[in-house]
Structure 1
Amino acid sequence: MKETLPLGRIAGVRVGLHWSVLVIVGLVTVGLAAGRLPEAHPGRPGWAYGGLALLAAVVFLASLLAHELAHAVVARRNGVEVDGITLWMLGGVARLRSEAPTPGAELRIAAAGPLTSVAVGALFTGLALWLDALHASGLVVEAVAWLAAINILLAVFNALPAAPLDGGRLLRAFIWHRTSDRLRATRGASTAGRVLGWFMIATGFAAVILAGDLSGLWAALIGWFLVATATAEERQAQTRGALDDTPVSRVMTRDPVTVPTTATVARFLAEGPFGRYRHSAFPVLAPDGAVAGLVTIALVDRVPLQVHGTATLGDVMRPLTDIVTVAPDDLVVDLLPRLETSKDRRALVLDGGRLVGIVTLADISRALAWLTTTTRTRS
C-alpha cells in the first residue's frame, strides 16, 4: 500500500496517508453525525453533531497510527527494519523490510499493536468517566465513549488468530516455536485467515440479502481483504522457502555494463539500443572508478531534447544514496522486500565498495522458477 500524502516521521518512522483513508473518515463522520450522536442526545444543532463526529474520526485515525507505530517501534528494537507506515481505508499497514528473526520477536511485534489499542481504549474509558463525573456535555462524553469502544473492538478483532491480523502473527509465532518450521507456521496462519475471510464474506452478503442490512457489505469487504492478503502472504512464504540461504551472488548479473558520469545524454543515446548500451539501466561510475549512482532509460527520457548535448549522465542519474545496495553474501530473501519497495526495482552489488554486479526482480523471478522446477522434479 503506497502512500499518497506523506506526513513526515514519527519516532523515526516515515508516516503517510493513502487517499482511501478519506473513505473511513467519511464513514465514521456520517455514522456518528447521522446515527449514534443524535440518537443518544437529540435536539442539538447539526453543526455540533457534524463537527464532533469529524473530530472523533480524526482521533480514531490517530489511534490507528498509534497501533501501527507500536508494531514499528517494537520491530526496530528486535532488529527488523521498518520502511514506513501507511494509513488507508481498512486501517493501517506497517511495512517491515524483513521478517522477525525468532518466534519470540514475532510474538512481541504482533502483540504490541493490540496491547496499544487496549491501552488507548482504557485511556478513553477513563476520560469518558471523568468527563461524566464533571457533568461535561453529554455529546462529548458520548463521542469519547465511542472512541473507547472502537479501540477495544479494534484490539479484539486484531487478536483473532488469522493472518494477516495480529492474532495471525501470534498463531504463526506459536506454530513456529512448536515446529521450528517458519513456512509451516505461515501456512497455518494463512489458512486460518482465509477461513475467517470467507466466513465474513458469506455472513456479510447474507446480512445484505436476508436482512437488508447494507453494513454487511463492509464485513464482506474486510473478508475479501483477509482472503487476498492471507493468500499473498502464503505465496511470499513459499518464495522465501525456495530461496532460503541463497546468496545474492548466485542470482546477480556479474560485471554489468557501466557508463561514466561525464558522458552526455546525446552520446549515451547514440550507442543504444543496438550498440553497447542495450540494457534499460546502468551503474554510473565517477572518473576515479567509484560507483556514483544508477541511470535508467526512464530517467534519460525526462531530459529535454534541447539539452541532450550538454546534460551529462552524472546530472541525470539517481545518486548512490537513493539506490538499494547489497553485498554478494547477503541473502536474496532479505533483499527481495527492499527491491519490491524501491523506485528502480534494482540493486547494485558492492564488495568492499567495488561494483561486482547488479540484481533485479527479474533475476530473482528467473532463479525462483528454476528452483521451483527443480524441487518439483525431485519430488
Structure 2
Amino acid sequence: MNESIRLGRIAGIRVGLNLSVLVIVAIVVIGLAFGQLPAAFRGYSPAEYVLAGVLAAVAFLASLLAHELAHAIVARRNGLEVEGITLWLLGGVARLRGEPRSPGADFRIAFIGPLTSVLLGLVFALLAELVARATGSRLATGVLAYLALVNLVLAVFNLIPAAPLDGGRVLRAALWRWWGDRHRAAISATRAGRVFGFVLIVLGAVQIFAGFGFNGLWLALIGWFLVSAASAEEQQTAVQSALGGVRVADVMTPQPVAAHPDDTVAGFIDRVVLSHRFSTYPLLDEAGRLSGLVTLNRIRAVPAERRADTTLREIACPPQEVPRGRPEQPIIELMAEMTGCTDGRAVVVTPDERVIGLVTPSDISRTLQLGELAGGPGLHRGADTVTLPQRRH
C-alpha cells in the first residue's frame, strides 16, 4: 500500500498515510458524532459531538500507528530492515524487508502488535475511569471507553490464526517450530487466511441480504482483502521456496547494454532501442559509475515532440533509488529490494561498484521455469537443495 502523504519519521521509521485512510476517519466521526454519542449521552451540543468524534478518530489512528510501530521496532531489533509504515483504509501496514530468521523472531514480531493494542485498551479504560471520577463528563468518558473497546477488539481480531493477520504469523511461527519447515508452515497459515476471508465474505453477503447493508459490505470488503492478501502471500512463499539457495549470479543477465546519461531519448531510440530486445538500460558516466537507470516504459512516456531535447538523465530513476545486488548474494534478498521507480529491476555490481549485470522480472521468471524443468514436481519441496543448470550466454 503506497503512501500519499508523508508524515515524517518516528524512531527513525518513515510514517505516511494513504488517502483511503480518510474513509476510516469519516466512518468514525460520522458514526460517533451523529449516531452513537448522541444516542448514549444526551444533552451536549452538535459541535461537542463532532469534536468528540474527531478526537476519537485521531486517537484511533494513533492506536493503529502504535500497533504498526511495535511491529516495526521489534522487527528491526530482530535483524529486519523496515521500509516504512503506511496507514490506509483497512488499518496499517509495516513494510519489512526480508523474513524472520527463526520461529522465535517470527513470533515476537507478530505478537507484539496485538499485545500493544491490548495495553492501549487497558490504558484507555483506566483513563476513562479516572476522567469519570475527576470530571464526571459522560461524553469524555464515553469516548475513552470506545477507544478502549476498539483497541481490544483490534487485538482479538488480529490474533485470529489466519495470515496475513498477526495471528496467522503466530500460527506460522508455531508450525515452523513444530515442523521445522518454514515453507510448509507459511503455506498452511496463508490457506487458513484464505478460508477465513471466504467465511467473512459469506457472512457479509448474508448481512447484506438481511438488511444490514453497510455492515455486511464492510465485512465482505475485509474478507476480500484477506483472500487477496493470503493468495498473494502463498504465491510469494512458493517463489521464495523455489529460489532458495539461488544466487544473483545464477539469475542475472550479464553485460547489459548501457547508455550515457547525456544521450538524448531520440538518439538512444534510433541507435539502441530499435535494434535491441532489452527493456532496461543502466546509465554510466565516463568513469563507469552508475548514474541512473531507464526502462522502456520511461522512454515510451516521453512525448515524441520532446524526445530530441530530453536526455536520459532527465527521465532516469536516480542512482540512489536503483537496487544493487552482488553476484554471490541470494536472489531472495535482492528481490525484497526490487521495488520503486525501477519497475522491479536491479543492477548487479562488483565491490568497486562496476555494473556487470541486470536482474529483471523476466530473468526471475525464466529461472523459475528452468528450475521446474530441472527439479520436476518436487522443486518446491526442499528447494534450497536444488541446483539450477548453468545459464549459457
Please give the TM-score of this superposition, normalised by the length of structure 1: 0.92
Other structure's SS at 2:234 match? helix
Seen in structure 2, the aligned counterparts of structure 1 residues 208 and 267 have a Cα distance that, compared at 3 Å, is closer
CA separation in 1, counterparts of 2:283 and 2:253?
Answer: 16
Matches within 5 A, 1:1-379: 1-210=1-210, 212=212, 214-275=214-275, 278-300=277-299, 312-352=311-351, 353-376=353-376
Other structure's SS at 2:273 match? coil
CA separation in 2, counterparts of 1:41 and 1:207?
Answer: 28
CA separation in 2, counterparts of 1:339 and 1:187?
Answer: 23
1:270 shift after superposition: 3.0
Seen in structure 2, the aligned counterparts of structure 1 residues 266 and 179 have a Cα distance that, compared at 3 Å, is same
CA separation in 2, counterparts of 1:82 and 1:203?
Answer: 35
Q: What is the aligned partner in structure 1 of residue 388 from structure 2?
A: none
Other structure's SS at 2:72 match? helix
Report the aligned-residue RMSD: 2.2
Other structure's SS at 1:274 match? helix
Deviations 1:5-44 (A, max 9, x none): 2222222222221121111111111111122211111132
CA separation in 2, counterparts of 1:122 and 1:274?
Answer: 65
Moved more, 195-204 or 28-37: 195-204
Seen in structure 2, the aligned counterparts of structure 1 residues 182 and 294 have a Cα distance that, compared at 3 Å, is same
Deviations 1:263-314 (A, max 9, x none): 3444323313334x55332111121222332233444556687876665444
Q: What is the aligned partner in structure 1 of residue 385 from structure 2?
A: none
Contact 1:103 1:177 survives alignment (8 Å): yes
Counterpart of 2:286, as a letter, is P
Counterpart of 1:322, as a letter, is E
Counterpart of 1:366, as a letter, is R
Contact 1:261 1:287 survives alignment (8 Å): no
Q: Which runs of 5+ in 2 are unaligned?
A: 380-393
1:182 shift after superposition: 0.8
Other structure's SS at 1:82 match? strand
CA separation in 2, counterparts of 1:94 and 1:302?
Answer: 32
Counterpart of 2:153, as a letter, is L
Seen in structure 2, the aligned counterparts of structure 1 residues 312 and 90 have a Cα distance that, compared at 3 Å, is closer
Contact 1:263 1:312 survives alignment (8 Å): yes
CA separation in 1, counterparts of 2:104 and 2:316?
Answer: 43
CA separation in 2, counterparts of 1:272 and 1:196?
Answer: 51
Counterpart of 1:269, as a letter, is I
1:361 shift after superposition: 1.4
Seen in structure 2, the aligned counterparts of structure 1 residues 235 and 313 have a Cα distance that, compared at 3 Å, is closer
CA separation in 2, counterparts of 1:34 and 1:7?
Answer: 29
CA separation in 2, counterparts of 1:226 and 1:312?
Answer: 44
Counterpart of 1:234, as a letter, is E
CA separation in 2, counterparts of 1:232 and 1:302?
Answer: 29
CA separation in 2, counterparts of 1:375 and 1:256?
Answer: 29
CA separation in 1, counterparts of 2:11 and 2:56?
Answer: 24
Other structure's SS at 2:101 match? coil
CA separation in 2, counterparts of 1:359 and 1:238?
Answer: 19
Contact 1:272 1:278 survives alignment (8 Å): no
Deviations 1:109-149 (A, max 9, x none): 00111111111111111111110011242111111110111
Q: Which runs of 5+ in 1 are unaligned?
A: none
